Every structure is written in C-alpha cells, then in structure tokens.
Amino acid sequence: MKNKILITINNLDDIEYYQKLGLKHFVYPLKDFCVGMPNVFSVAEIKEEGYLFLNRICDNEAIDDLKKIIKKLPNNIKGIIFDDLGVLEIVKDLKIEKILFLNHFNTNTLSIKIYLAHVDSVVISSDITKEEMQVIVDNIPNKLTIFVLGYVNAMYSRRLLIDNYCKFHNIERKNPLRIQKEDNHFFLYENEYGTVFYHEPLFNGLELLSFKAKYFFINTAFLTKENIKDALEGNLKVTNDQGFLYQETIYKLK
C-alpha cells in the first residue's frame, strides 16, 4: 500500500524520512503554480524522482510560463498532478504520468471515464461519500487516485482576502489566519495567486487505503513529517474527521 502513496513535500529534507517509512512517490508543489501550499519548489530544486503539483487556475501568462518550464523538463520528473485543463493541453504529448486533480469535480463514474481517455489517473473528489467512491472504484479499478489525508481545500479565491482584510482594519497580516462561525472552523492561507480556505479538522480518509486504487494522495501542507508517520502507523494525533465519507450532502432542499 505504501508504494502507492503520493505524498506532497514541505521540505526537501523530509524525503529521506519518508523513504524510511517506505514511501516512494514524492509530489512537489511547483513554484508559481500553486495556491494554499506554504512550501513550493522550482524544477531546479527538485533532485529526486517525483511529480509536479499544480493546483492553481492558470491565466494565459501562467500558461505561457508553464510552457517554458515544460520544454526543459528534466528526466527526474515522472509526472504532473494538475487542476487546470489548460495544463493538460500543454503536457498531453509528453511521456510523463498525468494525474487530473480537478478539485470538487470528478464525482461520478462516467465523467471520470471520459477524463481517463486523456490522463493516466484521476483524483476522485473527497466531497462524496465512501459508498459513492466505492461504486466509482469498483467500476474503474486500479486507475484512480484517492485523497486519503490532508486539510481539504474548501474554497479557492483569486482575491487576496487576508491581505485586504488586514489592510482594511489596519492590523498586522497573519498568514495563515484562523476563522470560525459556531462549529465551523477554517484557516486561510494566501499567496500572490489567491487565498485558500482549509477546513478544520484534518480530513482522515486513511480507511480508503483498502480501495483498489492506482494511487493514494496525502497532502502534507500544514502537517509535520511526524504527523504523517503517526497517521501511517494508525496513531494520528492531529484532530481529524472523515469529511463527507459518511455524511452525504444535500442535493435539493425538500
């Protein structure tokens, strides 16, 4: 199972630690192409084999910049995990693994099958129930990627919401910034490309590791390597929940 885990990297020094845990697929948030990721890397900084992670919705300028990077892509880059379908157009002819992480989409079997004609794997949305995931995985075994651990990106704004808020109130900028309303807790993280609202507590879908998936995805943003070790040993100490695995969202109000 551990050899199927894609794990994002916060610090290049963590890689050896993760290798000792038996992990081998490392995912590098790509500088200038990510939101909500506190640690990002240029291609030149990446020395080990691994995957690039791009979760930004790209404007034309970003697409142009990405084309320049892709032209000189070194051999240690095995694959690319992305949200924007424009990225797929750029990498479609490259002989690297392409994994579509279209956040909040990919909630049904047929749509995923269509995308799979264009990419090597698709990340199933964690907005659906475990039962719904099971149906999809049963229909498309060993092809999909399942998000199993990490803070869930619950909202992505192009706006600089922390910056603007602090400017308006003339207070010191705090990034990340925690907010809550009653029992709903989020923390915001902002960079020049936008603001992400992460839901708290941490999403723990490690029980999905039993599914017949191609990969399992762990987003380590705002977690430590020790948190990950604990989690993989079944001893997760960070407050967590199971998101929507057992709580189906309402489609229509009656």
Centroid of chain to Cα 185: 20
Among 31, 127, 201, 227, binds another protein (CB under 8 A): 127
In the shown chain, the binding pattern of residues 180 to 219 toward another protein, with x for contact by CB under 8 A and - for none, equals xx--x-x-------x--x-x--------------------
Which is nearest to 42 in space by CA: 54, 51, 29?
29
Minimum CB separation of residue 150 from another protein in Å reads 15
Q: Which is nearer to another protein, 3 or 253 (CB)?
A: 253
229/235 Cα distance (integer angstroms): 8
Among 20, 74, 110, 233, binds another protein (CB under 8 A): 110
Stretch that binds another protein, among 84-92, 143-151, 218-226, 227-235 (CB under 8 A): 84-92
- Reported residue count of the chain is 254
Q: HSE of 100 in the Cβ direction (CA atoms, 13 Å)?
A: 27
Which is nearest to 59 in space by CA: 193, 164, 154?
193
Q: Are 53 and 79 in contact (CB under 8 A)?
A: no
Among 169, 210, 235, 237, binds another protein (CB under 8 A): 169
Q: Which is nearer to another protein, 47 or 118 (CB)?
A: 118
Minimum CB separation of residue 146 from another protein in Å reads 16
Among 141, 174, 224, 239, binds another protein (CB under 8 A): 174
Look at residue 52 and give its three-state secondary structure: strand
Q: How many residues bind another protein (CB under 8 A)?
A: 62
Among 12, 43, 73, 154, binds another protein (CB under 8 A): 154
Stretch that binds another protein, among 12-20, 71-79, 170-178, 225-233 (CB under 8 A): 170-178
Q: Which is nearer to another protein, 159 or 212 (CB)?
A: 159
Look at residue 123 and give its three-state secondary structure: strand
First to last CA, the chain: 42
Q: Which is nearer to another protein, 21 or 116 (CB)?
A: 116
> In the structure encoding, which two tokens stand for residue 33, read together?
């192409």
> In the structure encoding, which two tokens stand for residue 253, read together?
């109000």
Question: What is the DSSP secondary structure assignment for residue 105, as one 8-state letter?
Answer: -
Does residue 103 interact with another protein by CB under 8 A? yes
Residues 235-254 that bind another protein (CB under 8 A): 244, 247, 249-253
H-helix or E-strand containing 16? helix 14-20
DSSP per-residue codes, 225-245: HHHHHHHHTT---S-EE-TTT
Q: CA distances (Å), 190 to each of 41, 155, 156, 198, in order?
A: 17, 12, 10, 11
Q: Catalog residues that contact another protein under the rule CB under 8 A.
A: 57-60, 62-63, 84-90, 103-105, 107-111, 114-115, 127-128, 132, 135-136, 152-161, 164-165, 167-169, 171, 174, 177-181, 184, 186, 194, 197, 199, 244, 247, 249-253
